[in-house]
Amino acid sequence: MTDIHFAPAYEQAAKIAKGEIGAEELLDHYLARIGKYNGDLNAVIWMDEKGARARARAADAARARGDRLGPLHGVPMTIKESYNFVGSPSTWGNPAWKDHYPEKNALSVQRLLDAGANIFGKTNVPFMLADWQSFNDIYGTTHNPWDMSRTPGGSSGGSAAALAAGLSGIETGSDIGASIRNPAHYCGVCGHKPTYGIIPGQGQKPPGIVADSDISVLGPLARSAFDLEIALDVMAGAGSPQNGAWKLDLKPARHRHLKDFRVAVMTSAEGFDVDNDYQAALNGIADKLEAAGARVSRTARPDIPIAAAYETYILLLRAATSGALSDDQLERFRKIVAEADPDDKSYLTLMARAGTLPHKEWLRINNERHLMARKWAEFFDDWDVLICPAAAGPAFPQNQKGERQDRMIDINGNLQPSTDQMFWAGYPNMVDLPSTVVPAGITPGGLPVGLQAVAAYGEDKTSLKLCQLIEEAFGGFTPPAGYD
C-alpha cells in the first residue's frame, strides 16, 4: 500500500484482478489520502462515499465469482466537475447553476462505469471552464501540489492536481483551449486531447445545451500514457443519435519502436517565447530520441504563418464560446471593435471581434482553418509527430485579479499576457488534431514541464505510442514532494 496511490490505473486494475488488493480496500486508501491532503490542495470538491463503497463491494464480489467488469475493474477515480454524474452537482463553477443536478450520466461517465471504474468524486474547475487557473465562488481555489502558491492549470486543474497528489486513479477532462494539456503540463501528469469528435460530448455541456461546440473535445488524464490509451478506448465511439451511421476505427500507431519515428521538434515560435528551462527540457528529449535512433528535425514545421495561426484560433475559439456572452458583454465588445485599430491583434480585441462576427466572416475564417488543416496533412506526409510546448512556461503564481488577458506571466525575465501562450493550445487544436502531453522533466526551479506530441488527424494512437515509448525509455510521472 506504500505507493499504490501513484501507480498507473492499469496496474491498480491488475492488482485487483489478482486479488492482491480489494477494490474497497483501494477506495479506502484513496479516501484516507483525501482526508489527509485535500484540505489545503482543494482538488476534490465533491464525493459520494456511500455509492462508491457499494460499487467497490460489487467489484470485489465480481472478482470473487471470476468475472471481470472491464479494463478499469475496481479502479477508484474522480471526474471533472462539468461531467454529468447522477447525484452530483454539475455547475461549471457558476453560482447560477449551483443547484443543477443532472438526471442522467454523461455518456463518457457511463462508459467508464461500464468499464469497471469506481467514480467516487469530482474535481474543481474555473468559472465556466474559462481559465488556466481553477477557482470559482462555489468551491474556492485549487492549488498545484508541486508549489501551493502556483496554479494547477485549467480548466481541468482539479483533475491534474488530484492525479499528481495521488488522490485518484485516473481522471477525465475537456479541452478547447488546452484544458487537458495545460493542467497535465503544469502538474507533471499525462493528458490526451483526442481528434475532434471521437469522444461524444453528451452530458458535458452547460444546462440546456445539447449541440456540440466547435473545437472542444473530451479526453482522459492519467499518470501514465498507457492509461490514456485505455481510457480513450473506453470513452471513444459514436454517440446517439449517430450510432447507426458510423463506427470509430482509429488508425494504428505508425511505428512500434523509437528508432522508426520521424519527429519534428519545435521549442518556440516567432512572437511566442518559451521559458528557456522548458526549452532545454524539450531539447533534452529530442537529444534522447536521436540517440535512440529516431529521425529528428529541429526546423521542420507545417507551412503556416505563426501569427495567422494564432489569430485564426483565437477568433474561432471565442466565436465558439460566444453563446455564453451576456447582452452587456456583447455591447462592450461592439464598442471595443468600433474603436479598435484594424491592425490591433491583441487578445481582447480579437475576442471582441469573435464575439460579434457576422456569419459570413466566420465562414471566411473557417475556410482559412481548413486550408491550414491541409498544410498540416502535408507536413504529416513527411513527419510522424510534432513535439512542441504545451504552454509558455511552467505553472505560474496564482493571480485572480482583473481579467484573464490582463494577468501577466514572467517568461525569461519579460512580462507577457498569460493569454499569449494560448498559441500552443490552438496551433494543433483548431484543426482538430490529436495531441498527447506527458512529463518532459523538472526545471531547475523544481517545477514539472510536459511535452506536447501532435499527430495527424485520426492518428491518436501514433502520439500515444510515441509517448508510451518515451515513458518506458526515459521515465514518466514523478510524484511531487510531500505526498508520500
**Active centre residues (catalytic):** 80, 155, 179
Which candidate, 170, 182, 263, places its Cα nearest to that of 225? Answer: 170
Nearest to 150 by CA among 391, 426, 422, 477: 391
d(CA 64, CA 448): 41
Q: CA angle 333-177-401, nearest 5°?
A: 60
All cell numbers assigned to 386: 510534432
Rounded CA separation 420/306 (Å): 12
Q: Report whether the peptide linkage leading into residue 155 is cis, meaning its omega lies within 30 degrees of zero.
A: yes
Contact, 384 vs 462, CB < 8 A? yes
What cell was used for 190?
499525462
Spatial distance between the Cα atoms of 127 and 404, rounded to a whole number of angstroms: 12
The residues, any chain, with a CB within 8 Å of residue 279's CB and separated by 6 or more, are 267, 268, 389
Angstrom distances, CA of residue 21 to CA of 25, 60, 141, 224 = 7, 10, 34, 20
Which of 414-424 are b and which e, b meaning 16 or more Cβ less than 10 Å from the residue's Cβ?
eebbbbbbbbb
